[in-house]
Amino acid sequence: MYKLDVPVDRKEAAVLERRRNAELQRQSRIFDCKIRTIGIDKDALDIQVNDRNIQKETEKRRHELYATQMVQNDKIACLLEDRQANDIRNLNKAMDEFRLCNQKPETRREFDLSDLEALKKSLPARLNDGDPRCTFSGLQKLLGEDLSQEQRKKSQQEQLREWSLQQQRDLAKTRADKKFADDLYNKNRIKLDERAMELQRMEKESRRAVCLATKDYNIAQVKELAEKKVLEKQQVEEDDKVEISNLLRGDFLSENPEQASSSFGPHRVITDRWKGMGEEELMKISDVQQQQVLEKMRLKEEEWQRDAQWNRERVQAARAMTLLERQQKRATREIRRAQDHANLELAEAQQARKLFDDNEVYSNAPSAQYFMQFNTTSR
C-alpha cells in the first residue's frame, strides 16, 4: 500500500556502491608502483600554495578598497540627491505659501459669479450721498449735496494708511522669510560641503593606502627577483668551477685506465681507448650474471606469491560482500513483510472505522426540512 521500502533499498545500494568505489580507489593507490614509490614534490607544492595565498590576499585587499570607494561614491550621490530633494521641497513650499497668501479665491476675476454669499454682501439701494448708483433720474439725492464728505475722506485716508501698513508688513515678512530660507539653505549647503570634503578626504586616504600597498608589493617582488638573480648567478659560478675542476682531474688528462668505459652503460666501452678485459673483470662479470639470475628468480617468486595473496584476499572480500548482500536482502524482505502486515492491519482498522462512522456516528443525516427552518423570521 505504502512504498516505504524504496528509500531503504536506495540507501543500502548507495552505501554498497560507496564501499565498492572506496575499495577500487584504495586498490588503485596500492597497486600503482609509480604513485607508491615516486610520490610528489611537497616543497614545490608548498611554495605554490604560499604564492597563491599571497595573490589571494592581495586580490582581497584590492576588492575591499574598491568596495570602500564604491560605498563613498554612493554616499556622495545620496547627499547630492538629498540636497536636490530639499531644494525642490523648499521651492514647492514657497510656491504653496505664495498661492495661499496672494492667490486667494476671492481675488479672482470670476469669483462673483460663483460666490454663494453674494446676496449677503450686496449693498442696499443707497449707502450714502456718494453712492454711484444714485442716478439723476432716481431722485435719491439733489445736485450739490454731499453729506458724508468728511467721513468719506477720513475713510479714504484710513484705508490708504491701512493699505500702506499692510504692504510694509507683507514686505517685511517676505524679506524675513527670504532671509530665513537663505540662511537655512546656506547652513545646509555648508553642512553638505563639509560632508563632501570629509568623503573626499576619506577617498584620498583610501587611494593613498591602495598606492602604498601596491608599492610595498612591487618592492617585495623586485627584492625577490634580485635575490633570485643573485642565487642563479652563484649557482652558475659554482657549476663553472666544478666543471673546470672535473676537466683538470678527469680521466682523460690523468690517463686513467677506466676512461675506456662508455657513457651508454657499464657493459660498453670506447674502442679506441679500451685495452682489453682482465681475469678479474671476467670473474666479476660472471658473478654479476649469476647474481642477476638468482635475483630475477627471487623477484618472480615474490611476485607470484604476492599475486596469489592478492587473489585470495580478493576472493575472500568478494565472498564476504556476497554474504553481506544476501543478509541485507533477507533483512529487507523481513522488513517489507512486516511493513505489509502493518499496512494490512492499518487498512482493516481504517475500513472498520469508516463502517462504524457510516453506520453509527453519521447515521442521523439532516434532511432538507431541517435546513428550511432557518432564516424564516426576522429574529
The whole-number pLDDT of residue 78 equals 92
DSSP element (H, E) containing 194: helix 149-248
The whole-number pLDDT of residue 3 equals 46
Residue 206: how many other CB atoms lie within 10 Å: 16
The whole-number pLDDT of residue 155 equals 86
The whole-number pLDDT of residue 2 equals 43
Cβ–Cβ under 8 Å, residues 231 and 225: no
Cα separation, 277 vs 279, whole angstroms: 7
Quote the DSSP letter at residue 137.
Answer: T
Q: Which residue has the cell 563632501?
A: 196
- The backbone region for 375, taken as left when phi is positive above 0, alpha when psi lies in -120 to 50, beta otherwise, is left
The series of mean pLDDT values per 10 residues for the chain, 379 residues long, is 55 89 80 64 75 91 90 92 92 90 79 78 69 68 65 86 90 90 88 87 87 87 88 86 74 61 70 69 85 91 90 89 90 90 91 85 75 61
| Length of the chain counted residue by residue | 379
Cβ–Cβ under 8 Å, residues 23 and 313: no
Q: Which residue has the cell 541485507?
A: 328
pLDDT in tens, 318-373: 888 998 899 999 999 999 999 999 999 999 999 988 888 878 777 777 777 777 77
- Would the CA dihedral through 328, 333, 338, 342 be positive or negative? positive
Say what the pTM is: 0.23
Cα separation, 51 vs 57, whole angstroms: 10
